[in-house]
């Protein structure tokens, strides 16, 4: 039974299937990548054990608030193609892509092509088979078309997607989940990964055998560890991630190659909580807030950037134009106001309800924001109405409806600052989700998906592509691991 491979003190019920006398596929991490892989595996009657060091499942995927990208889906009203999505991703990837050597460039092209081509299928899978509402589509920064999907109402997209997959696995007889279980070593024999060691909830060291999928996330919260190692210049910038060490070194310890580790994405808009402005962990101000029409203002009430440019571009504009705030200790924060009118706010529904409830956004009037802001909003309203061109080149304005701003016009404002958000670097992998060694060769018995990987995004990730890569490569990893498990762990008579 599978229980003989699990820690005795943590064992619940053994998986009641004919296959439980075989080791499971081990998935490290319970975010969307891990859950997508587990869902694919259990469909094929392959036993799965998910390990996660956190107290609750879901990872950072649970927090994702802007949506999931898809090109050519049934929800898009403006025509969009895989080729356009591919080009937007290449453009966003920047120098790591354009300056790559031939072999490295070909590998990156295959990763980008895979995620673009399979984006429609990922949205179809989640919205069709899994029943997640993804009918609302917005255009985010760096995209030439609206292609980022979320629900029209209800939970934010990350919570909706992750919650649905968790519900599906909760009662699945082929799935086990162990929280507060920190993987400390990958077991490798004769050039093949054969399991992991981990520390369980009672601090006992355990080992379990089986093929392994790593879906353990990035290291943007590891500010005193890996962030300090690869980007010491980012010290003091707050993060949207909890302080948690990165797991990429576990992979490099067994010969996996790491790539793009210095490319850490700074998201331009993390909320400054009015009640605790010096908090080092921030709530993300979703990019959808700008996609639906929101704008960014400097402390003097003026605009300074195309809010729908890439995250990298907007962050650079903040650093060049905005004043730094006085903060405690070494914390580095900037003075930026995010402002939405009633039309943009209404389009965001539950997002706004949550932000207002948390006190991260406040309902006020333009007169309270200031005279300069009133003048700025009048100019922006004229731009939206087509009366003048936007000097910053913003191509779309979401659901902004305020056309004749007055001092008593209702608006919604929040204070935001750049935050450490996402790590583009990680373990090198290929389009089949296989982890690659220093020579670019697959390490047998090992796959990876999600933010733990590197090579897909280059120096800048497009908003909406984090959930997408988790769904695409998580499912690929699940299918690949299922085939491997059946060939290596399932006796010939049971195949």
Catalytic residues: 267, 290
Q: What angle do CA 60, 61, 62 make, to 5 degrees?
A: 85
Residue 91 phi, psi dihedral angles, 5° rounding = -60, -40
User: What pairs with residue 337 in β-bridges?
Assistant: 297, 415
Question: How far is Cα 339 from Cα 236, in angstroms, rounded to an integer?
Answer: 26
Task: Sort 233 into a burial class: Cβ within 10 Å, 0-12 / 13-18 / 19+.
Answer: exposed
| Contacts of 228-237 spanning 24+ positions with Cβ under 8 A | 230/261, 230/262, 230/264, 230/425, 231/262, 231/264, 234/264, 234/266, 234/420, 235/330, 236/329, 236/330, 236/331, 236/332, 237/266, 237/332, 237/418, 237/419, 237/420
Q: What angle do CA 135, 137, 142 make, to 5 degrees?
A: 155
Question: How far is Cα 341 from Cα 358, in angstroms, rounded to an integer?
Answer: 19
Secondary element (H or E) of residue 258: strand 258-259
User: What pairs with residue 446 in β-bridges?
Assistant: 212
CB 316 within 8 A of CB 333: no
Question: How far is Cα 283 from Cα 301, in angstroms, rounded to an integer?
Answer: 23
What are the structure tokens assigned to 462, written together? 């497009």
Cα 267 from chain centroid? 12
Backbone dihedral region for residue 58 (phi beyond 0: left; psi -120 to 50: alpha; all else: beta): left
Question: How far is Cα 229 from Cα 253, in angstroms, rounded to an integer?
Answer: 17
DSSP per-residue codes, 373-400 = HHHHHHHHHHHHTTSS--TT-----TT-
Measured torsion, CA atoms of residues 139, 140, 144, 147, in degrees rounded to the nearest 10:
-50
Measured torsion, CA atoms of residues 55, 57, 60, 61, in degrees rounded to the nearest 10:
-170
CB 146 within 8 A of CB 396: yes
């Amino acid at each position: 039974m599978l229980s003989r491979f699990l820690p005795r003190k943590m064992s619940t019920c053994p998986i009641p299937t004919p296959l439980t006398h075989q080791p499971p596929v081990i998935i490290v991490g319970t975010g969307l990548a891990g859950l997508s892989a587990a869902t694919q595996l259990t469909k094929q009657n392959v036993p799965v054990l998910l390990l996660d060091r956190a107290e609750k499942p879901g990872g950072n995927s649970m927090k994702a608030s802007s949506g999931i990208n898809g090109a050519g889906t049934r929800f898009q009203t403006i025509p969009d193609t895989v080729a356009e999505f591919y080009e937007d991703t290449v453009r966003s990837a920047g120098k790591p892509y354009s300056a790559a050597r031939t072999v490295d460039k070909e590998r990156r092209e295959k990763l980008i092509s895979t995620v673009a081509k399979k984006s429609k299928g990922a949205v179809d899978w989640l919205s069709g088979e899994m029943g997640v509402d993804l009918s609302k589509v917005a255009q985010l920064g760096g995209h030439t078309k609206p292609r980022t999907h979320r629900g029209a109402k209800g939970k934010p997209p990350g919570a909706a997607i992750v919650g649905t997959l968790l519900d599906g696995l909760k009662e699945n007889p082929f799935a086990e989940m162990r929280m507060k279980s920190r993987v400390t070593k990958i077991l490798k024999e004769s050039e093949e990964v054969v399991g992991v060691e981990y520390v369980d909830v009672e601090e006992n060291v355990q080992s379990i055998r089986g093929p392994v999928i790593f879906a353990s996330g990035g290291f943007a919260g590891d500010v005193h560890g890996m962030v300090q190692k690869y980007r010491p210049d980012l010290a003091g910038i707050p993060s949207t991630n909890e302080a948690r060490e990165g797991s990429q070194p576990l992979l490099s310890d067994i010969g996996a190659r790491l790539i793009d580790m210095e490319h850490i994405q700074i998201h331009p808009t993390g909320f400054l909580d009015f009640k605790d402005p010096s908090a080092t962990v921030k709530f993300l101000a979703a990019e959808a807030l700008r996609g639906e029409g929101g704008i960014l203002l400097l402390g003097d009430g003026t605009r300074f950037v195309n809010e729908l440019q890439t995250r990298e571009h907007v962050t650079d504009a903040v650093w060049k134009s905005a004043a730094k705030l006085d903060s405690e200790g070494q914390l580095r924060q900037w003075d930026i106001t995010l402002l939405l009118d009633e039309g943009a706010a209404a389009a965001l529904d539950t997002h706004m309800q949550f932000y207002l409830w948390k006190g991260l956004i406040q309902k006020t009037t333009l007169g309270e924001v200031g005279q300069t802001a009133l003048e700025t909003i009048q100019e922006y309203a004229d731009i939206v109405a087509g009366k003048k061109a936007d000097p910053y080149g913003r191509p779309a304005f979401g659901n902004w409806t305020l056309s004749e701003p007055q001092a008593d016009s209702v608006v919604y404002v929040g204070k935001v600052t750049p935050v450490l958000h996402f790590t583009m670097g990680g373990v090198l992998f290929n389009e089949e989700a296989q982890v690659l060694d220093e020579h670019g060769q697959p390490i047998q018995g090992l796959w990876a998906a999600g933010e733990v990987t590197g090579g897909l995004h280059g120096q800048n990730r497009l908003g909406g592509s984090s959930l997408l890569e988790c769904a695409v490569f998580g499912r690929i990893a699940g299918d690949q691991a299922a085939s491997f498990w059946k060939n290596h762990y399932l006796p010939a008579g049971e195949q």
